[in-house]
Each structure stands twice: as structure tokens, then as C-alpha cells.
Amino acid sequence: MGIRIEDVAREAGVSTATVSRVINNHPVREKTKEKVIAAMGKLKWEPNLLARGLNTGRGKTVGVVVPSLTNPYFSEIVESIETSLTGVGYLGILMSTGADRSDAREREVVETLARRGVDGIIVVDGTDENNHNGFFSALAGRLPLVVINGSPSLDGVDLVMTDQASGMVKVLDYLYSLGHRRIAFFRADREASADVKMDAYLAWLEERGLTGDPGLIVRFAGVNRSRILVEMEESVYSWISRLEEKPSALFACNELMALGALRGLEKAGFDVPGDISLVGHDNTPYASLVKPALTTVEMKMSELGGAAARRIIDRIEGRGTDPQRILFSPELIIRNSTAPVAGI
Amino acid sequence: MGIRIEDVAREAGVSTATVSRVINNHPVREKTKEKVIAAMGKLKWEPNLLARGLNTGRGKTVGVVVPSLTNPYFSEIVESIETSLTGVGYLGILMSTGADRSDAREREVVETLARRGVDGIIVVDGTDENNHNGFFSALAGRLPLVVINGSPSLDGVDLVMTDQASGMVKVLDYLYSLGHRRIAFFRADREASADVKMDAYLAWLEERGLTGDPGLIVRFAGVNRSRILVEMEESVYSWISRLEEKPSALFACNELMALGALRGLEKAGFDVPGDISLVGHDNTPYASLVKPALTTVEMKMSELGGAAARRIIDRIEGRGTDPQRILFSPELIIRNSTAPVAGI
DNA sequence: ATGATGAATGTAAACGCTTACAAAAATATT
DNA sequence: AATATTTTTGTAAGCGTTTACATTCATCAT
């Protein structure tokens, strides 16, 4: 139906191979190249990428896997990935695994993508469980794979990540300097990032000789925005009401949870930061919009996305073949949701 | 390199055509079907979709075009499109045109997608300019195309849209009932939705016999979140400071702009809603998080996305061939950013 | 049983490119 | 000028499916 390479070849008076060479920048004499380009222009021909992909095994597409787009943390990463990708002629295929973050679903999604013949896959916040049987590691063997902010223990896969442990320490040191000793920790249930943070939190407690109160660690399921905001208000309220020895500060592993916590605390009659200091994570737009503006940890989402895109392209095109680990350092952003502990 | 349909055929003792028929649900005797399925299972074969796509011209992919993902309005639409698509075995290729919304860029993106052999394209908020030469209409002729909340005048293309004019009237009637007469209108520069709203705004003014003050209509460029929030604070501040006759209410075409306006007004010393009532649009999560919580217009992003996805699949698979127009009615959500005009 | 009918299967030609290999043309070497 | 070398170009065989057409098989009426 459409116009094919053959037509262009005929028009230019050369063979299809030559046309192919021109569009792939293989050596061709300048004069013939011009003829071909002229023919292409005249016939308005563009190569069919499915056909090309079938040949080369490269469709110039990369799969992008995120839990959800309702958290700005993810949507900003996706946006920057997409921008970097199209900038170099690749296309991003987006799939979300759903806020429940089941690792079964994540694997299914990744496998669908692989079957579709994408050239590589970027997974954001890959759950740790998924590597239990070496799933990610095995996948990385047969397809370029980069994981953003996944578990640092992922072996043999390209990692782009923020040093969240150090961010955690910055938060805790800062709160400590304000006099806080009972610091609650809110996390999502199955979240690679939260695991890292929690490890750092526990290590920090130990180091400071503070006995961690298990009642201060709370796990919530899911990261879906609408659910979080509604449900957390309730559960935070009931959690803190039941707690006999209250915390003086509270850290939430992501901003949505911090927002939910803020509401729950307000509902329970606590003033932030008067009664309780609150620290979020990611520095999404929410953090600066809300009142009090949240103290939080900057995540530089767009840099993460850009780095991941560049890395996957490098791998796809055969540059820098062995797994690499790109690390960003998070900064603490101090706003108005934190204050010296009451009575100091 | 991998395993091919031929291998499966050999294993099952049939021809490749029969295997193909099995996986495409074409008539095949039950017994042979079983043999083939067994062989598929044994060899773990999955059809190569590029090869299939080359044949059928269908890659089971649809392009999704949005200006940006930093506005939750878009990211929620994208999320719901993606979910609906993968639910029926399709994949979404995401491309953003950038917050500057140049129509050249939009065309380029759409054309890239078309060349890539996507089966259909969903464009969110397609700029009106793009149909000047009948671009969208022509495209719709050769490829299924659905536009979400684009210009209603788009001819021959499938439209999924919110009746934004009626939403606008609801806002204005409500403000009128609170005594407001000088109502400012903030819009983004090149935004199909904003055109619709502005038309409704002007018509409403006329109908009420209110002379519109051109100074009350303000256009801002771009919808990029970071820019909006920073720049608008400034420009709103200077705009309202310079205005000799202040408005008593202000409507912003999208929530990001409303947020920027809120900050600008506060900076200029205006109390919302005490001095000025503020109405946003879209009912993104921001609207309920901010203080005062914004009165706004519900857009049901996920329904829009779902409807668009269903529609494009129908078109791709040849159901309901002539252009359709699916309309949603927006609701006014009254929160705390609006109040009776001062002195009433 | 026999031929007519219709359903299931097989054969082979697309689909639109890339690329190994061969041939031809241009350039360098003597 | 003749030959060796290098660079360009052409020929044709894939890449892994689908599908029109031809063939075979099963079923049914006679």
C-alpha cells in the first residue's frame, strides 16, 4: 500500500541496498547519496520501522516500568526518561505495575515487554522480592536492564540510584540536633526504596544507642494516591491515638504518605511542627505547596530519569558493557514542618 | 537466534500455517490445536510481534501524546489509558510534546508515531492550530485517532471530551450567585481546552450583559509545573498590583495556574477568599491539599482516559467506524477558596 | 460404496527492510 | 599501461510471521 524502499531505489536509479546504506549512514559515495536523498524527499518515504526491527532485532524502543503515575515522584522520572529517549530516536513503552506492587505483576509486565522485543527495559523502584530467584539478574543477562532506585543488592544489573541511606542519615541527624529522640518511621509495604531507608534507620538507631520502639515503625500498603490520602488520615489518627508514648518526630518514606500523615496528625489534634515534626521524602511539588511546607529529601527525579535513559541506550548500542552503578547524593531540604522538640 | 514458529510446527507435526491459526484463533480442529498448544508450552514459544506487525500492519500498540506529565491532570489520564490498554493486550507508547505546546512539535510527534506503525493514536488536549490545514482530520483518515479534550470543532476525528463550556457556566453562575461581577480569567496560551472555556466565558458575559474588561483576561505561556509555580507568583503579583480596578473573583483554566495565582495573590496581600475568590479547574489532588482548599471543576481524568482507550481499540479493530463524540459532564466542587463578594 | 460438499491443513508468497557476498568501479602502485 | 588494492554498488537471501490458494480429509446424501 505505502511506498517502499524499492520505489525509492528505482527513482534514484540505485539498488535497495544503497538506499538502505544511505539511511543507515553506511559508506556511500557523496553523489549517490544525494540522489537517494532527493528521491526520498520526492517520494516522501520513511523507512518502516517494524521491518527494520525484524531484521536487526532492534525496534528502537525501551520499556519503562513504574508502579504508578499518580505519585509525582514517578511521573517526573517517567517524563525525563521519555524526553531523553526521544531525543536520541528511541521510543518509550510505558507500563505500570499498579500501586499494589505485587512482584508477580511486575514480572509479568517485564516479561510482556521482553516478548514484545523492546531493546531494553528501565524499571523504577523494582521490588526486592523480584530478585529472589535471580529474576532481574537473569533478565539483565539477556536484555539491557537498568533499575532506578531498586535494591542495591541487585546483582549484575545496571543501577541508577540515589544514596538513600545517606539521605536517611541526614534526616535523622538533623532531627537529632533538634532534640528529637522518638522518631516514627512510616513506610510503604513492598518498596525497594523503603527497605533501604529502613535499614539505614535501624542502623542509625543502633549507632546512637537508641532502642528502637517497634510501635514507631508503621507499614502501609499501596502507594496509590487517592487511597493513601484518604486511608492514611484514618489510620494515622487511630495509630497515634492508641500510642501511649507519642513520638516527637515522624519520617515518611514518600511524600504522599507524609501528606496523609500530616492530615492524620491534624485530625488527631497535633500541631505540626509544634507537637510533632514531620519529614517527607522526594521533594515533590506537594512538599512546598502544603502548609506547613514539608522538610524533605530532594530526589532529583529528572536527573535519575535522564541518567537511566542514557545508560540504557549505551547498553543497547553496546557501549560500556559491564554493569555500572550510578549514584546520586540526596540533599536535605529544610522547610517549616520541623522544629526543635517541644520543651527545649 | 530464538525459537521460531517453524520449530513449534515441527514439534507439533503440523505446518507453520496451522500454528499461526491456533494463536490467532482461526478455525482449527480441536485435536491439532491441543498438539500445537502442547508444543508451544514445551518450547516456551511466543510469537515475535515485530514479524506479526510487519505482516498485518498491526503491532498492537497505540501512541499516547500529552503535553507534559508534570501536571497531574495529564498523568492521571495517561495512567488510565495505559491501564485500559494493557488490559486488552495493547501497549502504549508515550510521547510528550513539551510544555511549550508548539503545534509543530505536536505534529512531529504524531508523525513519528505514525511512521513507527502504531495502530492508533490518542492525543490529549490537541491544540486547535493543528487542524488549521486539516492535519488531524487528514490523519484520522489514515489511522484511528482519538482526541481527548481537544477542540470540539475537530472534524472527522473521534472525540472524548468533557463539556467544558457547561462547566464554565456552572462556575460563573455560582460566582455570580455569590455577588461576583468582575471575574478574571487566567488561561494558558496554546491550549485547546482554554479556548473552549474562554468562548464560554465571553458568551456568558455577553448574556449577562456584563461588559468584559480585557484587562481581566490574562494569558500565560506554558504549563510546565516548575515554571508555572515560580513564574506565576511573580506575574500575578505584578498584574494585580498594576490593575486599578481589582476583580473580586478569579478563574484559572488549570490547577497549576490556580496554585500559582493563589501564591501571587497572597504575596500581593490579598486574602483568599476574603478579598478575592479563586476557582481552579480539573480537581487534581492539589486542589484539596492546598489551603484554602480550592473550589474547582471535576474532570474525571480516569474516565476520560478509559473511554479514549476503549474507543481507540474499537476503531482499530474495526468496530463503530464513523467518528464518535463521547461527552462527559463536569461537576462543580465547592471548597473554601470561594466566598460571597466582600461587603454583601 | 460413490460422489458432492465443506472443513481442516499445507505450500509458498508476501510484508519491507538489512546485510553477507560478489561484482564493478575507482584509485593506487609499479 | 597494466596490475593490485580499495571503495562503491548490486544481488539475493534472510528476519519470523500471516494468508491466499491449493490440497487433503472428513462428512453426508444418494
- pLDDT per position as a tens digit, B88-134: 889 999 999 987 677 888 888 988 888 788 999 999 988 767 677 78
Least confident interval from A138-142, A323-327, B122-126: A138-142
B242: CB partners within 8 A, 6+ apart: none
Q: Would you say A277 and A180 are in contact if contact means Cβ atoms under 8 Å apart?
A: yes
Q: What is the mean pLDDT of residues B312-326?
A: 89
CA gap A17, A304 in Å, rounded: 40
A51 touches strand C (CB under 7 A): yes
Q: Is A91 close to B96, i.e. CB distance below 8 A? A: no
**More confident of the two residues B38 and A112:** B38
**Sheet of strand B249-252: strand arrangement:** B217-220, B183-188, B249-252, B277-279
The string of DSSP letters for A257-271 reads HHHHHHHHHHHTT--
Distance A27 CA to C30 C1' (A): 29
Cell numbers 458575559 label which residue?
Answer: B205
Q: Residue A310's closest CA among A150, A70, A83, A31?
A: A83
Q: Residue A344's closest CA among A292, A273, A294, A278?
A: A273
Q: Is B69 close to A61, i.e. CB distance below 8 A? A: no
Nearest by CB to B70, from A64, A75, A116: name it.
A75
**More confident of the two residues B73 and A153:** B73
Least confident interval from A244-253, B66-75, B120-129, B171-180: B120-129
Beta partners for residue B145, in sequence order: B121
**CB neighbour burial string for A204-217, b if at least 16 within 10 angstroms, e if fewer:** bbeeeeeeeeeebe
Chain B contacts of A75, Cβ < 8 Å?
69-70, 72, 75
% pLDDT > 70, chain A: 95
B196-214, pLDDT tens digit by residue?
999 999 999 999 988 778 8
pLDDT at residue B226, rounded to an integer: 64
Least confident interval from A32-46, B225-239, B258-272: B225-239
Chain centre to alpha carbon of residue B331: 17
Q: What is the mean pLDDT of residues B49-67?
A: 89
Q: Tell which phi-psi region holds residue A209, choosing left (phi > 0), alpha (psi between -120 and 50) or beta.
A: left
Chain B contacts of A115, Cβ < 8 Å?
46, 49
CA gap B211, A111 in Å, rounded: 61
Q: Is B78 close to A61, i.e. CB distance below 8 A? A: no
Cell numbers 480537581 label which residue?
Answer: B283
Q: What's the predicted TM-score (pTM) here?
A: 0.90
Chain A contacts of B61, Cβ < 8 Å?
93
Distance B18 CA to C12 C1' (A): 14
pLDDT at residue B273, rounded to an integer: 94
% pLDDT > 90, chain A: 62
pLDDT at residue A58, rounded to an integer: 81
**Sheet of strand A183-188: strand arrangement:** A217-220, A183-188, A249-252, A277-279
Q: Residue A125's closest CA among A308, A319, A311, A314?
A: A308
pLDDT at residue B222, rounded to an integer: 62
Q: Would you say A298 and A333 are in contact if contact means Cβ atoms under 8 Å apart?
A: yes
- When pLDDT is cut at 50, 70 and 90, the band that residue A288 belongs to is confident
- When pLDDT is cut at 50, 70 and 90, the band that residue A172 belongs to is very high
- When pLDDT is cut at 50, 70 and 90, the band that residue A225 belongs to is low
Q: Tell which phi-psi region holds residue B101, choosing left (phi > 0), alpha (psi between -120 and 50) or beta.
A: left
Q: What is the mean pLDDT of residues B54-66?
A: 89
**More confident of the two residues A142 and A253:** A253
Cell matching residue B157: 476525528
Q: Would you say B71 and B42 are in contact if contact means Cβ atoms under 8 Å apart?
A: no
CA gap B235, B147 in Å, rounded: 32
pLDDT at residue A224, rounded to an integer: 62
State yes or no: pLDDT of B152 exceeds 70.
yes
- When pLDDT is cut at 50, 70 and 90, the band that residue A227 belongs to is low
pLDDT at residue B1, rounded to an integer: 55
B266-299, pLDDT tens digit by residue?
989 999 999 999 999 999 988 988 889 999 999 9
φ, ψ of residue A212 to 5 degrees: the values are -70, 135
Q: Would you say B224 and B99 are in contact if contact means Cβ atoms under 8 Å apart?
A: yes
CA gap B65, B116 in Å, rounded: 14
**CB neighbour burial string for A158-177, b if at least 16 within 10 angstroms, e if fewer:** bbbbbebbebbbbbbebbbe
pLDDT at residue B227, rounded to an integer: 65
- When pLDDT is cut at 50, 70 and 90, the band that residue A116 belongs to is confident
Give the CA dihedral B200, B203, B204, B205, nearest 10 degrees. 130
State yes or no: pLDDT of B215 exceeds 80.
yes
A49 touches strand C (CB under 7 A): no
Nearest by CB to B79, from A54, A59, A69: name it.
A69
pLDDT at residue B225, rounded to an integer: 63
φ, ψ of residue A121 to 5 degrees: the values are -135, 135
State yes or no: pLDDT of A209 exceeds 60.
yes
pLDDT at residue B77, rounded to an integer: 97
Beta partners for residue B61, in sequence order: B91
Q: Tell which phi-psi region holds residue B6, choosing left (phi > 0), alpha (psi between -120 and 50) or beta.
A: alpha
